[in-house]
Structure 1
Amino acid sequence: MPARVTASPVWLVLLLTCLTMTAFAANSLLARLAFQTTSIDAASFTVIRILSGAVTLSLIALAGRQPLKTGKTDWLSALLLFVYAAAFSFAYRHISTGAGALVLFAAAQLLMIGYGLWRGERTSITGLILALGGLVLFLSPGAAAPSLSAALLMALAGFAWGGFSLLGKQGDSPVVGTALSFILTLPLALLLLAVQYRSLSLDVAGGLYALLSGSLASGVGYALWYWVRVRMAAITAGAVQLSVPVLSAIFGAVVLRETVSLQEAISALVVLAGIALVIRQERR
């Protein structure tokens, strides 16, 4: 049986929601910092992130006296988590912080929207067209367009994350389920290291960024999100995630001096507006 949700002060839910969205955006920033300012390779970043995330989430689950028991979909969840984490790392070698977050977020949301349509759920066709059109505009060839290969990798990461999120909704304890997925992903992460052994490169700063990404931005961030998600309306839970690509772009501009072109800004707003319409229709 799912645990009973207790009432919490509004200010606490708001504060933890802001911290959670900041943690999600920090994942993108930490990856870009690692690949732009250090010599760490994508495979090493992925493995350190997964390992530190597994340890952090396991400690959180054990602290809450939640036993780690495997379920029917745990191995599939682990595979999707691995695809997300690996594609995320390799994509962020060649795509800006905000652009990567937008493609990741849009792909994940569109997959979940498509799943809902397949199940017969109603949605805003206008919003769906806006989201898809904005994404096409964002990725259209031009001086400001991100690398197509990096964008496709990030889209793959988004689809995998969307599938992982859909499977996670079926469990009674999301923290336990996510902890198990991180643990079961470790063999795949080690296999990635073996495949990429000729390209491995590690330094202290890059390893630290990967550690922070896995333990704080992912592990603690996911645990906080599961706590606040059940204490807000469905439309609110979807809408607050619209802030993640915006925060990521701001972090990239402030910390890494990344620029945002007019085309990128307009297309990003169109994508987010379309997804917001879909979320609004879903709530109705």
Structure 2
Amino acid sequence: MRTEAAAQVRGATLAVGLLTCLAMVAFAANSLLTRAALQTTGIDAASFTAIRVASGAATLLAILRLQGGRLERTRTGWLSALLLFAYVAAFTFAYRGIGTGAGALVLFACAQLLMISYGLSRGERASPWGLLLALGGLAVFLAPSASAPPLLPAALMALAGFAWGGFSLLGKASGAPIANTATSFLLAVPLAAVLVLAAWLTGPGGLRPDPAGVACALVSGSITSGLGYAVWYWVRTRMTAIGAGAVQLSVPVISALLGVLLLGEHVTARSALSGLATLGGVAWVTLTARKA
């Protein structure tokens, strides 16, 4: 009996580990797909945003129906949808001018720093040296230099990070994360439609639904967002809060590697060192965080 129970525990642990890796690769693939679509196909950012949101909503609704669940109506529903839309739109427009790994680093760092700041304001405590290391590394990474990302794309990605951090905080206490996320995606669809309309009104060239770009957007919305979030929420309930925060440190690294291997992007020593300092600082804060 003990041997059988131990084998079941090992099997469950292995499943959690493998699915966690799959979720992190899915998150990194969002960066790769968006960057690839905007750099190697003719699709515009507005169309990509709308297709990603709509396909993500459809996939999450299908998952919810298979689970026998239903959409959740909350007081923060429209605010969550607005933050989700701001994240997807700013994320997409930013990747017109920032590298895959650089964009993921700025996104992740800003999202985590917002959530850390919220925790500190609520009385939580963490290492101030870790926070200084994270902020210093990010400042060096973004400082003007030959290897620094352009200011506007970096600012848009920072906005996306803050929006994602806010969205995550709103959904943190939810007892039905997939239902709430599906609701947010669904409510974000009309916001994405307004963005498409605005792009169409700018002129005939405002919308360019390139077939290859549409395919990337569909994969990003349905698989690496919809299915990726579903997998992540499953493993998240089986991990500690510290473990969940620490494992996400892998996303910018995976994104950078995918950008180098598949898109031929380059990472300078300065960018790599400052990026590692940022991630190390966030890890330091995450691992030392405690309630007052």
Cα deviation, 1:123-181, whole Å, max 9, x if unaligned, reads 11001000000000000011101011000000000000000000011211000000000
Residues paired across the two proteins, number: 279
2:17 corresponds, among 10, 14, 19, to 14
- Matches of 1:20 and 1:187, distance apart in 2: 27
Query: In structure 1, what is the Cα distance between the partners aligned to 2:139 and 2:113?
Result: 13
The secondary structure found in structure 2 opposite 1:9 is helix
**Partners of 1:26 and 1:253 in 2: CA distance:** 13
Residue 282 (structure 2) pairs with residue 281 (structure 1): no
Q: Is the 8 A contact 2:86 2:160 kept in 1?
A: yes
Q: Which of 57, 62, 74 is residue 59 of structure 1 equivalent to?
A: 62
> Which position in structure 2 is the counterpart of 1:147?
150
Letter aligned with residue 270 of structure 2: Q
User: Which residue of 207, 210, 219 corresponds with 2:217?
Assistant: 210
Q: Which residue identity does 1:245 align to in structure 2? A: P
Structure 1 Cα separation of the partners of residues 273 and 173 of structure 2: 36
* Mapped partners of 2:70, 2:185: distance in 1: 15
Cα distance in 1 for partners of 2:240, 2:192 equals 36
Give the equivalent residue in structure 1 for 2:169: 166
User: Aligned equivalents of 1:59 and 1:165: distance in 2?
Assistant: 22
* Aligned residue identity for 1:214: G
Q: TM-score, with normalisation over the residues of structure 1?
A: 0.96
**Aligned mates of 1:138, 1:190 — CA distance in 2:** 35
The answer on whether the counterparts of 2:124 and 2:290 sit within 8 Å (CA) in structure 1 is no
CA-based RMSD of the aligned residues comes to 1.3
Query: Contact 1:95/1:146 (CA < 8 Å) preserved in 2?
Result: yes
Higher CA-based Rg: 2
2:112 maps to 1:105: no
Q: Conserved in 2, the CA contact under 8 Å of 1:234 and 1:283?
A: no
Q: In the aligned structure 2, how far is the partner of 1:11 from the partner of 1:165?
A: 26
* Amino acid across the alignment from 1:37: T
Q: Does 1:225 align with 2:225?
A: no
The two structures have a TM-score, normalised by structure 2, of 0.94
Q: Is the 8 A contact 1:17 1:228 kept in 2?
A: yes
Which one-letter code corresponds to 1:187 in the other structure? P
Larger displacement relative to structure 2 (164-173 or 22-31): 164-173
Query: Which of 156, 162, 181 pairs up with 1:178?
Result: 181
Local SS of the residue matching 1:29 = helix
The one-character-per-residue Cα deviations of 1:1-25 (angstroms, maximum 9, x if unpaired) are xxxxxx8711100010000000000
What secondary structure does 1:121 align onto? coil
Give the corresponding residue for 1:129.
132
Deviation (angstroms), 1:82: 0.5
Tell me how far apart the structure 2 counterparts of residues 235 and 68 of structure 1 sit (CA, whole Å). Answer: 29
Aligned to 1:266: 273
1:80 aligned residue (79, 83, 86): 83
Q: In 2, are the aligned partners of 1:235 and 1:283 still within 8 Å (CA)?
A: no
**Does the residue aligned with 1:259 lie in a helix, a strand or coil?**
coil
Take 2:69 and 2:210, find their aligned partners in 1: how far apart are those partners? 35
2:44 counterpart letter in structure 1 = D
Letter in 2 for 1:239: A
Matched to 1:163, the amino acid is G
2-structure distance, mates of 1:170, 1:14: 24
Matches within 5 A, 1:243-254: 243-254=250-261
Aligned match of 2:243 in 236, 239, 242?
Answer: 236
CA distance in 2, matches of 1:14, 1:171: 23
C-alpha offsets along residues 211-252 of structure 1, whole Å, 9 cap, x if unaligned?
000001100001111000110122111111000000000000
The 4+ residue runs of structure 1 with deviation greater than 3 A are none
Q: Which runs of 5+ in 1 are unaligned?
A: 1-6
